[in-house]
Amino acid sequence: MSTFGPDTLPLGVFRRGDEQPRVGAALGEQVIDLTSLGLSDTFAQPTLNAFLALGRPAWTAIRAELLELVRSDAVEPHLIPQSAVTMLLPFEVADYVDFYASEQHATNLGRLFRPDAEPLLPNWKHLPVGYHGRAGTVVASGTDIVRPSGQRKAPDAAVPTYGPSQRLDIEVELGYVVGSPSTLGKPVPVEDFREHVYGVVLVNDWSARDIQGWEYVPLGPFLGKSFATSISPWVVSLDALEAATVPLPKQDPQVLPYLDSPDLVNYDITFEVRINGHLVSTPPYRDIYWSPAQMLAHMTVNGASVRTGDLYASGTVSGTERDQLGSLIELTKAGREPITVDGKDYTFLQDGDEVSITARAGDLDLGEVTGRITSAVS
């Protein structure tokens, strides 16, 4: 259970018993039922999409009103224990794009997959590399993850085989939630990031490494990624995250003008990854190479539009130390060097494993995303 402070006030969608789903804000271990506060008719909806479509002036004004109500204790009659509600997918996902924005993660995988070549491919420091994912398989935190099946081919095998993935992995990511849409044919400049993005969620982009490794050449991720992506139930606004901004690390070589701005920022966020309750990693977000504004600008530079409810994610977040890596393929060197979990050697996810990813930005709680692995469907 997340215990958000009074300055965070993330938004999510909840259901109590047989009542209709509606929008609430988290406060401590309580949910503020926003439907009766008179702040916006959009809070009576079963998703956040109508609220997200209102745009930044409305987001800022409504948040300011809610903060005043919280500080005056006027929300007391509208509080419901989090333990008494079920949290749902917070918004209807329109499109999903996943990036590859961590230099350390990209370097680690390059060394694993191309040990005799440069770890970063020539384009990596010139543009935010990404791919379009599958919006329909983005699921709410707590949803069981069915082990995917598909084609795999061992390096020493002559032909592929079919069966359940044996190298099921996690990816620790930060996701950005688009509110205001853009116009088809008109790129979104880096300066307009905050006009389009409402806030963030935590993301676990589950990955079947054996399926991915056989299929990804030449067009990239497909079935090894599209079976499930979990997101946290609470969306934390960019306004709440403002105090956690840090300068973007220096980019070398100089990026092209459409990706450049003196005001580019990252967020000082630290994740914690637990498998079956045991802490295995603490990836830091502050040193990620590509900023969220650059990701959005690149995603639209060809004229592609964004829509209310679009989700784009950072890609795996990894730091420089062994205990800061955001995927098991990195933590275990592709399974060659097991880590210890609960006193046992461990490589990739087993049936029954439960993964929990939490994050904080200083004193700001960003919530939790969880998922439990169930057996493949025969």
Active-site residues: which are they?
105
Contact criterion met (CB below 8 Å) for 106 and 118: no
**β-pairing, 197-204 with 161-164?**
unpaired
Query: With the CA atoms of 69, 74, 78 and 84 taken in that order, what torsion angle do they form, in degrees rounded to the nearest 10?
Result: 80
CA gap 11, 26 in Å, rounded = 7
Contact criterion met (CB below 8 Å) for 224 and 216: yes
CA angle, residues 61, 65, 68, in degrees to nearest 5? 140
The secondary structure element, H or E, covering residue 112 is helix 103-113
Contact criterion met (CB below 8 Å) for 210 and 202: no
DSSP, collapsed to helix, strand or coil, labels residue 170 as: coil
* 3-state secondary structure labels for all residues of 38-57: CCCHHHHCCCCHHHHCCCHH
CA gap 73, 33 in Å, rounded = 14
Contact criterion met (CB below 8 Å) for 266 and 121: no
Contact criterion met (CB below 8 Å) for 225 and 133: yes
CA gap 62, 152 in Å, rounded = 50
In this structure, what DSSP letter does residue 105 have?
Answer: H
β-sheet bridge partners, residue 111: none
**How many residues in total does the chain contain?**
378
Count Cβ atoms within 10 A of the Cβ of residue 83 and give its class: 0-12 exposed, 13-18 middle, 19 or more buried.
exposed
CA gap 9, 26 in Å, rounded = 5
CA gap 203, 188 in Å, rounded = 24
The secondary structure element, H or E, covering residue 262 is none
Contact criterion met (CB below 8 Å) for 25 and 235: no
Structure tokens at 90: 């917070």
